[in-house]
Amino acid sequence: MADRTRWWSSVRARTTAMATAVVAIALVAAGLAVLAVLRHNLVDSAGLQAESTARHVAAQLATGTDFANLKLPDADSQPVQVVSADGRVLAADDDLLGHGPMAQFSPIAESESEDDEEDDEDDEPQPASVRGSGTIAFRDMRLPVAHEDTGSHDFRVAALDADMPRGQHITIYAGASLAIADNAVAGVSRAMAIGLVPLLALVAGVTWLVTRRALRPVEAIRSELAEIMGGDLSRRVPVPASHDEIARLATTTNTTLTALEESAQRQRRFIADAAHELRSPIASLRTQLEVAQAHPQLLELDGLIADSVRLEHLAADLLLLARLDAGEQPRRDQVDLSALARDELSHRNGDRHPVEVAIPDDCVAVRGSRIQLSRVLANLVDNAQRHAATAVRVTLTRTDGRVVLAVSDDGGGVPESDRDRIFQRFVRLDEARSRDDGGAGLGLAIVRDVVQRHGGEIQVGASAEGGARFAVTLPAADQ
């Protein structure tokens, strides 16, 4: 049962089954239509033959031939009766002499026409006394005449009204056997039924082979991905040369693998850098505690507290970056950046350089997380304090639906070649390589990630004072 379920779950098996079913339905429908058209044409041909026979008999009577001397065709395939207006059989084949007029036999189907046009008004054939001379009607009926080969009793009968030279009104019934039509339809039906099975088998086989060939690249991609799942993200799936949907799938898969490989490399570098950064404060704390254990009088609480604070900040930064990497979206609260900036700067009493503030008094609102936006401002001011010579300047402006928060200093600035690199994690420029003064190199990386997740951007350039200017642009809340 499991093998059967697995077989049916394959695309190849389902495609083959559905294609075969669709072809089978189409062939059966087309075959029925062909049989219907074939029988209709053969029945019409039999009707023409019956009409021709009736008119031939009428032509004999019109030339004065007596009823007893009429030349009638073979009764097995073309029975004929000549009936008077009062229903007497005036002439007939031997098989029909002992029977009444053909009109008394049960019809299978009937239609009526005149010499030049069809009579669409009457559904039932009218009696001979009512119909005019030359009117001809057709009926499919069973006659007591047995065909010598098939035993068929079905005939196409033409009833032709005619007037004798002496004014006598008669009806000539002439039949044409439908055995040929029945035999032809039956033969074609048997041929179609016999040929249907091998044709469907051929369709199924071709579909199976074509589908297997088409899905072969997919299986190669699946096998390669199964190998890649073992851990080697440097491998790539094969791209077929067909330039079709499967080739595009393989190309997209390789692009995804490249992105995964780069992400895995970033994660490994991040873990290695984080471990390296954590080792320094932990080693410093351990050294100081071991010294204090051996010599209590040499215990330096200020150094222990500073290392503990640095370790706490580093752990908080790593946790925030991990949450950002996990795709955590910020809150969408309305935040007044003016109030946030004034509140954040009011708590910075230990800064080395004064902070000049140019913030409007009215509300400048954006949407996002107040805590994360406050972290952005704090990290930018910390970075400016670390590199400034005498002062740091914070400005807040709004133009064209955008809010710009800028932090500038009068330090040495950032070289153009390093303006993209400084936003990478654990990157310190030459001036900030001191682990005590330069931090862990995560502040600007956090700023960039937070700003991007708030739908904004950050740019670094030169300030009017000659130092660096970091400008954060965010969409206004009403936008």
pLDDT tens for each residue of 154-203? 889 999 988 887 778 889 999 888 888 888 999 999 999 999 999 999 99
Helices (H), 120-177: none
Cβ(344)–Cβ(377) below 8 Å:
yes
Cβ(2)–Cβ(174) below 8 Å:
no
Structure confidence at residue 106 (pLDDT): 58
Judge whether residue 138 has pLDDT over 60. yes
Structure confidence at residue 440 (pLDDT): 66
What's 479's DSSP letter? -
Structure confidence at residue 292 (pLDDT): 80
Structure confidence at residue 147 (pLDDT): 54
Structure confidence at residue 44 (pLDDT): 92
Structure confidence at residue 153 (pLDDT): 67
Structure confidence at residue 130 (pLDDT): 36
Higher pLDDT, 174 or 316: 174
Structure confidence at residue 150 (pLDDT): 47
Structure confidence at residue 1 (pLDDT): 47
Q: Label residue 400 by pLDDT band (50, 70, 90).
A: confident
Which stretches does DSSP call E strand in 33-96? 80-84, 89-92
Q: Which helix (H) or strand (E) holds 292?
A: helix 245-294
What is the rounded average pLDDT for all residues in the chain?
A: 81
Structure confidence at residue 443 (pLDDT): 84
- Between 35-49, 104-118, 194-208, 391-405, the lowest mean confidence (pLDDT) is in 104-118
- Chain length of the chain: 479
Task: Choose from 122-131, 213-222, 272-281 the range with maximum mean pLDDT.
Answer: 213-222
Q: What is the pLDDT of residues 430-471, one digit of tens each?
A: 544 444 455 667 888 889 999 999 999 999 999 988 899 999
Q: Label residue 2 by pLDDT band (50, 70, 90).
A: very low
DSSP tally for the chain: helices H, then strands E: 8, 13
Task: Choose from 26-35, 95-104, 251-260, 357-366 the range with maximum mean pLDDT.
Answer: 26-35
Structure confidence at residue 397 (pLDDT): 92
Higher pLDDT, 327 or 150: 327
Instruction: Please give the share of the chain, as a percent, with pLDDT higher than 90.
Output: 27
Which stretches does DSSP call E strand in 312-401? 333-336, 355-358, 365-368, 392-399
Which stretches does DSSP call E strand in 164-281? 169-177
Judge whether residue 393 has pLDDT over 90. yes
Q: Which domains does the chain have, with CATH numbers?
A: 1-230 (no CATH), 245-325 (1.10.287), 333-475 (3.30.565.10)
Q: Label residue 109 by pLDDT band (50, 70, 90).
A: low
Instruction: Please give the share of the chain, as a percent, with pLDDT higher than 70.
Output: 86
Structure confidence at residue 108 (pLDDT): 58
List, edge to edge, every strand of the sheet that includes 89-92.
Answer: 89-92, 80-84, 169-177, 154-163, 136-142, 107-113
What is the mean predicted confidence (pLDDT) over 327-336?
84
Structure confidence at residue 335 (pLDDT): 92
Q: Label residue 113 by pLDDT band (50, 70, 90).
A: very low
Judge whether residue 112 has pLDDT over 60. no
Structure confidence at residue 241 (pLDDT): 84
Instruction: Please indicate, yes or no, whether the overall pTM of this predicted structure exceeds 0.85.
Output: no
Cβ contacts of 468 within 8 Å, gap of 6 or more: 384, 387, 408, 409, 411, 413, 414, 460, 461, 462
Judge whether residue 10 has pLDDT over 80. no
What is the mean predicted confidence (pLDDT) over 125-140?
60
Phi-psi region of 102 (alpha: psi -120 to 50; beta: other; left: phi over 0): alpha
Judge whether residue 126 has pLDDT over 70. no
Judge whether residue 472 has pLDDT over 90. yes
What is the mean predicted confidence (pLDDT) over 344-356?
86
CA–CA separation, 295 vs 302, rounded Å?
16
Judge whether residue 133 has pLDDT over 60. no
